[in-house]
A and B are shown apart, each in its own frame.
Chain A
């Protein structure tokens, strides 16, 4: 069964500083990987996804993530954080189509605070 670990429960960064949110997954086959963002009281918005190919994927709002199979990681990065990036971030892993249809598994989330 898949699992996702987001080691950091809460991160605080200064506006304009760089950001890296960590995500480690466990999955026996080729995973599909996602990052979602959730603002308070809202649903989840897809930031980016990795299915195959280039291991560095670009997403919306200036975010990118790098898939590292050897480390079972899919860390999210942003070079310069804006105050509006303050939110909860979720990493998720899903099965590739060839592996059958199993539900997405989400990490517990990392709450990002941005200070001036």
Chain B
């Protein structure tokens, strides 16, 4: 089985722009979670989707949004980018109803200039 794939792997944007990141889960997995990883804050949970519905949301501003499609692929969007949004964005998929035992993709490295 192919693993979790994320595109693009690297992005450079400037402040004020918006960005969309994509995640394709492992085939058959219906839960997709997104995390932001920075050296200072570590891994912070953004949101989790299951069957196209957002089930959980972390403590991030409304500039961060996401969605999931019927084929379980997910996208996250960040609008009005700030310098502090520079991070590694990780997507993880989970096979079951409960989003445990997550399988991670390689991440998208976002740099905001």
Contact = CB atoms under 8 A, between A and B. Distances in A.
Contacts of A36: 104
B55 A101 contact: yes
Interface stretch (A43-51, A63-71, A79-87): A43-51
Interface residues of B, number: 26
A48 to B, nearest CB: 11
A25 interface: no
Interface string A65-99: 00000000000000000000000001000111100
Interface of A: 32, 34, 36, 41-46, 49, 90, 94-97, 101-109
Contacts, number: 60
Contacts of B11: none
B84 interface: no
Interface of B: 4, 33, 35, 42-43, 45, 48, 50, 55-56, 58, 90, 92, 96-107, 109
Nearest to A98: B98
**Which 7 A/B pairs are nearest by Cβ-Cβ distance?**
A43-B104, A106-B43, A44-B104, A94-B100, A108-B42, A103-B45, A43-B106
